[in-house]
């Protein structure tokens, strides 16, 4: 069943567990996520960016996510990730997405409030959750894996800004910058726990950690104690997708059946997401939701 993301995350926030939000741009990866979630009875957030929607088709995405959530009996939210325009936000809401992110974090706080308020007003009519972001989450430029150049415009979420932003927008869930970085291919991110604890104490609502592919398991176990309820992961699944293909094709040079090749991809994705559910204490939390 597709839930509003707010409903899933408020349960996670109150019970100190995390719900991973996996990006997908391929339906075999999506199937692998569902197989893993079904195995450990974990609720999950499935998210796409606008380019992924253009590649897969919005009706395909919504119908497959809806059908699979019933088939595997998994409470899910379907989320639009990193949107920067009202067209795609309205399109996703009208097609059945249960959550959207307006990413105006590179604007000044006044414009970020303005953009977020616009989306809140529209989404409210459809009971759709809104995520926004205060502070800027860096990204490793994805030219190649040896590229250590990180755009140095990272700015940690400021407590006063976060409080003011929440007062003005009452946004459902907030993405924050506490050392996390997009596109990390190694688990080297250092979390600023002092800042995380201050933000959580100040705004007391579910927090979102972008760039979680760079977070090791011990930090995943830690962050859910301090309000991080949505943990965004894309890069790690992309790496696993490629590794699975390379491994299978090397071991089976004569196989040409896509369902055999992609069956192995599904298997490795499913194993990987189960490890995330374990680290985030999401296992069996599907029982917290009605069908």
Residues within the interface to ligand G3H (CB under 6 A): 23, 81-82, 182-184, 210-214, 232-236
Regarding 6 and contact with Zn ion (CB under 5 A), the answer is: no
Output the smallest distance, CB 179 to ligand G3H, in A: 12
Output the smallest distance, CB 259 to ligand G3H, in A: 27
Q: Which does 133 bind (CB under 5 to 8 A by kind): ligand G3H, Zn ion, none?
A: none
Alpha helices (H) along the chain? 5-14, 27-40, 50-56, 58-71, 86-95, 109-124, 159-169, 193-203, 217-223, 235-251, 258-279
Pairing relation of β-strands 207-209 and 76-83?
unpaired
Q: Which residues are catalytic?
A: 81
3-class DSSP string for 219-277:
HHHHHHHHCEEEEEECHHHHHHHHHHHHHHHHHCCCCCCHHHHHHHHHHHHHHHHHHHH
A 10 A CB-CB count for 11 gives: 19
Output the smallest distance, CB 81 to Zn ion, in A: 6
Nearer CB in complex with ligand G3H: 112/235? 235
Q: Which residue's C-beta sits nearest to Zn ion?
A: 210
Residue 277's nearest CA partner among 5, 102, 9, 21 is: 21
Nearer CB in complex with Zn ion: 6/230? 230
Pairing relation of β-strands 99-102 and 228-233?
unpaired
Output the smallest distance, CB 211 to ligand G3H, in A: 4
Nearer CB in complex with ligand G3H: 223/286? 223
21 conformational bin, left if phi > 0, alpha if psi -120 to 50, beta if neither: beta
Output the smallest distance, CB 211 to Zn ion, in A: 6
Nearer CB in complex with ligand G3H: 181/265? 181
127 conformational bin, left if phi > 0, alpha if psi -120 to 50, beta if neither: left
Is the dihedral angle over the CA atoms 10, 12, 16, 18 positive or is it negative?
Answer: negative
Q: Which does 200 bind (CB under 5 to 8 A by kind): Zn ion, ligand G3H, none?
A: none
Q: Which does 235 bind (CB under 5 to 8 A by kind): ligand G3H, Zn ion, none?
A: ligand G3H
Nearer CB in complex with Zn ion: 210/276? 210
A 10 A CB-CB count for 68 gives: 21
Give me the 194-233 binding string for Zn ion, x by CB under 5 A, dash otherwise: ----------------x---------------------x-
Q: Which does 89 bind (CB under 5 to 8 A by kind): ligand G3H, Zn ion, none?
A: none
DSSP state of 140: B
Q: Could you list the residues that contact Zn ion (CB under 5 A)?
A: 210, 232
């Amino acid at each position: 069943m597709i839930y509003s993301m707010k409903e899933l995350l408020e349960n996670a926030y109150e019970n100190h567990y995390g719900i991973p939000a996996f990006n997908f741009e391929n339906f075999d990866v999506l199937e692998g996520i569902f197989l893993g979630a079904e195995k450990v009875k974990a609720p999950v957030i499935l998210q796409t960016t606008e380019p992924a929607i253009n590649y897969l088709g919005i009706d395909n995405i919504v119908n497959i996510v809806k059908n699979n959530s019933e088939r595997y009996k998994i409470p899910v939210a379907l989320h639009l990730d990193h949107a920067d325009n009202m067209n795609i936000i309205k399109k996703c809401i009208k097609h059945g997405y249960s959550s959207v992110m307006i990413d105006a974090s590179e604007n000044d706080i006044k414009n970020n409030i303005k953009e977020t308020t616009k989306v809140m007003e529209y989404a409210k009519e459809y009971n759709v959750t809104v995520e926004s972001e205060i502070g800027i989450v860096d990204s490793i430029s994805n030219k190649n894996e040896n590229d250590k150049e990180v755009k140095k415009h990272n700015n940690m979420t400021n407590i006063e800004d976060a409080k003011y932003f929440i007062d003005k927008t009452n946004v459902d869930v907030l993405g924050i910058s506490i050392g996390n970085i997009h596109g990390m291919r190694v688990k080297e991110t250092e979390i600023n726990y002092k800042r995380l604890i201050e933000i959580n104490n100040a705004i007391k609502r579910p927090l979102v950690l972008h760039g979680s592919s760079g977070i090791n398991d011990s930090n995943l176990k830690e962050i859910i104690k301090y309000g991080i309820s949505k943990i965004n992961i894309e890069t790690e699944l992309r790496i696993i997708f490629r590794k699975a293909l390379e491994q299978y094709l090397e071991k089976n040079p004569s196989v040409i059946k896509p369902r055999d090749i992609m069956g192995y991809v599904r298997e490795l994705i499913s194993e990987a997401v189960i490890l995330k559910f374990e680290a985030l204490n999401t296992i069996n939390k599907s029982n917290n939701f009605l069908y």
